[in-house]
Structure 1
Amino acid sequence: MHNQVVVSLKSKHALFHPYPNTLLQNPRLSPSSVVRTNFYHHHHYSVLTCRGIEVSVPKQRPNSLSFGNGSVDDERINKSVVGVKDIDVATVGNLCVDIVLNVPKLPPKPLDERKAYMEELSKSPPDKKYWEAGGNCNMAIAAARLGLGVVAVGHVGDEIYGRFLLDILHAEGIGMVEMNEQNDIIDSLRSTYETLLCWVLVDPLQKHGFCSRADFSEEPAFNWMNMLSTEARMAIRRSKIIFCNGYGFDELSPRLLVSALDYAVEVGTSIFFDPGPRGKSLIIGTPEEKTAIDKYLRMSDVLLLTSEEAESLTGIDDPILAGQELLRKGIRTKWVIIKMGPKGSILITTSSISCAPAFKVNVIDTVGCGDSFVAAIAFGFIHKMPLVYTLTIANAVGAATAMGCGAGRNVATLEQVMELMRGSNPNEDDKFWEELLNEHSDAKEITLLTKVALNGNNIHPQRTSLQKAVSELLPKLESAQTKQTRAC
Structure 2
Amino acid sequence: MGIAVVGSSNIDFAARVTKLPQPGQTVLAKEYKSGPGGKGCNQALAVNRLGVSPIFISKIGDDVLGRQLLATLSDEGLDTSHLIIADGAQTGTALISIDTAGENMITVVGGANMTMTRGDLHEKQSHLRDCDFLLLQLECPVVAVDCAIKYAREGHAKVILDPAPVPDHMVMRDLLALTNIVTPNSSECLAMTGIDPVDMATATIAANKLHEMGPETVIIKMGSKGAFYSSDGQIGLVPSFVVSAIDTVGAGDCFNAGLAVALHGGQDLADAVRFACATGALSTTRNGAGDAAPTLEQVLALLEDPASAS
Q: Match of 1:199, SS?
A: strand
- Residue 83 of structure 2 is aligned with which of 169, 178, 181? 178
Output the amino acid matched with 1:308: S
Partner in structure 1 of residue 151 of structure 2: 263
Deviation per CA, 1:309-347: give whole Å up to 9, x if none: 2232112341112112211221xx231111121121122
- Residue 245 of structure 1 is aligned with which of 128, 137, 154? 137
1:329 maps onto 2:213 in alignment? yes
Contact map agreement 2:121 2:144 (CA 8 A) in 1: no
Output the amino acid matched with 2:73: L
Q: Which of 1 and 2 has greater Rg? A: 1
Deviation per CA, 1:51-70: give whole Å up to 9, x if none: xxxxxxxxxxxxxxxxxxxx
User: Mind listing any 5+ residue stretches in structure 1 that lack a counterpart?
Assistant: 1-84, 122-126, 285-289, 427-488
Deviation per CA, 1:335-366: give whole Å up to 9, x if none: 11111211211221122113211112122221
Contact map agreement 1:179 1:232 (CA 8 A) in 2: no
Partner in structure 2 of residue 236 of structure 1: 128
The percentage of aligned residue pairs carrying the same residue is: 27
TM superposition shift of 1:383: 2.3
Distance 1:107 1:336, change over 3 A: same
- Residue 8 of structure 2 is aligned with which of 94, 101, 105? 94
TM superposition shift of 1:149: 2.0
- The CA distance in 2 between the partners of 1:159 and 1:95, in whole Å, is 13
- The CA distance in 1 between the partners of 2:116 and 2:223, in whole Å, is 37
- Residue 273 of structure 1 is aligned with which of 154, 161, 168? 161
Distance 1:222 1:172, change over 3 A: same
1:385 maps onto 2:267 in alignment? yes
Output the amino acid matched with 1:274: D
Between the two structures, name the one with larger relative contact order (CA 8 Å, sep ≥ 6). Answer: 2
**Pairwise mapping of residues 57-72 of structure 1 onto structure 2 (< 5 A)?**
none
- Residue 196 of structure 1 is aligned with which of 92, 101, 111? 92
1:166 maps onto 2:70 in alignment? yes
Partner in structure 1 of residue 199 of structure 2: none
Contact map agreement 2:130 2:156 (CA 8 A) in 1: no
**Pairwise mapping of residues 288-437 of structure 1 onto structure 2 (< 5 A)?**
290-291=170-171, 293-317=172-196, 318-330=202-214, 333-425=215-307
Give the count of matched residue pairs.
301
Partner in structure 2 of residue 25 of structure 1: none
TM superposition shift of 1:198: 0.9
Output the amino acid matched with 2:208: Q
Contact map agreement 1:242 1:270 (CA 8 A) in 2: yes
**Pairwise mapping of residues 215-234 of structure 1 onto structure 2 (< 5 A)?**
222-223=114-115, 225=117, 227-234=119-126
TM superposition shift of 1:158: 1.8
TM superposition shift of 1:372: 0.8
TM superposition shift of 1:373: 0.8
Contact map agreement 1:273 1:304 (CA 8 A) in 2: yes
Q: Match of 1:153, SS?
A: strand
Q: Match of 1:353, SS?
A: strand
Deviation per CA, 1:109-142: give whole Å up to 9, x if none: 24xx7xxx69x99xxxxx9x83211012211111
Distance 1:172 1:238, change over 3 A: farther
TM superposition shift of 1:205: 5.2
Deviation per CA, 1:24-63: give whole Å up to 9, x if none: xxxxxxxxxxxxxxxxxxxxxxxxxxxxxxxxxxxxxxxx
Deviation per CA, 1:273-304: give whole Å up to 9, x if none: 0113x21xx125xxxxx33x222211111100
- The CA distance in 1 between the partners of 2:102 and 2:21, in whole Å, is 14
Q: TM-score scaled by structure 2?
A: 0.86
Contact map agreement 1:324 1:349 (CA 8 A) in 2: no
TM superposition shift of 1:226: 5.2
Deviation per CA, 1:397-437: give whole Å up to 9, x if none: 111112222221222122322222221349xxxxxxxxxxx
Contact map agreement 1:98 1:134 (CA 8 A) in 2: yes
User: Mind listing any 5+ residue stretches in structure 2 that lack a counterpart?
Assistant: 197-201
Output the amino acid matched with 2:232: T
Partner in structure 1 of residue 108 of structure 2: 212
Deviation per CA, 1:204-257: give whole Å up to 9, x if none: 554422113249xxxx96347452355422221232121111223xxx2x2222
Contact map agreement 2:114 2:139 (CA 8 A) in 1: no
**Pairwise mapping of residues 11-160 of structure 1 onto structure 2 (< 5 A)?**
85=1, 88-103=2-17, 106-110=20-24, 130-135=33-38, 136-160=40-64
Output the amino acid matched with 1:324: N
Q: Match of 1:395, SS?
A: helix
